[in-house]
Amino acid sequence: MKNCRVCQESIPENARFCPFCGTSVIEETITCPSCGEENELHADVCEKCGLNFFTGKKENRKASPPPPNDIFDTTPAETLEQEVADRFSIAFERRLNEEHKLTLHNSYIDRFYKSDFRKSVEFRIQQLAEQVQGMEDKSPDRNRLLNPAFEELIDFFIIRYCSDINEARYPEEILRWQGLPLDKVNLNQLIQSYLDLEREDESVYTNFVTMPAQKLKNAAQNFLFPQKGETIFFICDLSMLGNCKEGFAMTRDCIYWKMPLEKKQRVYYKNLDEIKRQEDWITINGIFFNANKSLNLKLLRLLKKLRELYGKKV
């Protein structure tokens, strides 16, 4: 027998996964603490017995799970909490896959098990299950409750518990905007909170009276073409020569940008659809965007938040 390096409980010599706290003992595989089956390192559920490594509970592996949007339509009350826990696991895995490098996934999962945040999630899942049970309507209302709740939990975990793992510094100021509808949000302040531009090395202008006139003119000629009365929050110069012929800007309604050797682009927040990480750059509705690694990742989070606020379904 040997001791787990995190919780110090006794575990078998050949164990690759601590059955008490969930810590990976070696890097190649994860051994199911229930049946002993070896699973891929980043597996969430044991392929043999169905044990969910996040919740510690078994899933039914014989029947195919119902589609996510219909998951609660015929769920009995006694299994509702498990269904909510499974949905959280799916949301957590999706966030890691969409926004974080594969090589870091195990670090996030390990941190989840080692931190007291896991207990907070379990308590919140119980609350959400009770709320879901009390709803008369089925999937639409329940999804509107659960999806934002899961994203807020994951945001809290990533910001508060993973600052040493994250590839970008996500400001805690982000958390103040949780749970607020669009009509209760100061859009300029929200954007500034997420991007935290003062910590970036890029040249950013918010005062267009003191901004060099030629740079303002270059931005207007090359990528910034707002509608009449559209408030401009900032202009970020990304040009190599510092002439503001490439860069991006955000307004009350829209993000505008131009990358070197690319055409000028714009996407209205109400039309945000797919925002994806591609290596160290991102795509916005399938269109290439690249500022710097840190700013790209923070903008990715911001645009997903704006998509949520504007009610875009994905």
Convert the pLDDT of each residue in 158-184 to its tens digit: 999 999 999 999 999 999 999 999 999
**Same-domain status, 35 and 80:** no
Residue 134 vs residue 195, higher pLDDT: 195
**Same-domain status, 186 and 289:** yes
**Same-domain status, 82 and 113:** yes
45 contacts 59 by C-beta, under 8 angstroms: yes
**Same-domain status, 200 and 286:** yes
pLDDT at 209: 92
Strands 287-289 vs 10-11: parallel, antiparallel or unpaired = unpaired
Given 166, 200, 235, which residue is the final one in a domain?
166
Calpha distance 18→288 (Å, rounded) = 42
Q: 149 lies in a domain?
A: yes
| pLDDT of residue 44 exceeding 80 | no
Which residue range(s) make up the domain with 230? 182-309
Q: 229 lies in a domain?
A: yes
Q: 172 lies in a domain?
A: no
The pTM assigned to this predicted structure is 0.73
What is each CA distance from 77 to 28, 58, 87, 139, 150, in whole angstroms? 38, 17, 16, 15, 20
Calpha distance 128→88 (Å, rounded) = 11
Q: What is the mean pLDDT of residues 36-53?
A: 72
**Same-domain status, 149 and 191:** no
Average pLDDT, the chain: 85
pLDDT at 40: 64
Given 137, 166, 195, which residue is the final one in a domain?
166
**Same-domain status, 105 and 51:** no
| pLDDT of residue 39 exceeding 60 | yes
**Same-domain status, 146 and 186:** no
**Same-domain status, 146 and 72:** yes
Q: 297 lies in a domain?
A: yes
**Same-domain status, 249 and 289:** yes
Q: What is the mean pLDDT of residues 284-300?
A: 96
pLDDT at 65: 46
- The percentage of the chain sitting over the pLDDT mark of 70, rounded to a whole number, equals 78
| pLDDT of residue 60 exceeding 90 | no
**Same-domain status, 47 and 73:** no
How many CB atoms neighbour CB 190 within 10 A?
A: 20
Q: 177 lies in a domain?
A: no
Q: Give the 3-state secondary structure percentages of the chain, helix then strand then coil, rounded to 5.
A: 40, 15, 45
Q: 73 lies in a domain?
A: yes
Q: 286 lies in a domain?
A: yes
pLDDT, tens digit, 9 for 90 and up, residues 68-98: 444 444 455 568 888 899 999 999 999 999 9
pLDDT at 98: 93
Number of compact structural domains in the chain: 3
Going through the chain in order, the beta strands assigned E by DSSP cover 2-3, 10-11, 29-31, 38-40, 203-205, 232-237, 247-251, 254-258, 265-268, 275-278, 281-284, 287-289
Given 64, 99, 119, which residue is the final one in a domain?
64
**Same-domain status, 156 and 105:** yes
Q: 173 lies in a domain?
A: no
| Coil vs helix vs strand at 84 | helix
**Same-domain status, 148 and 192:** no
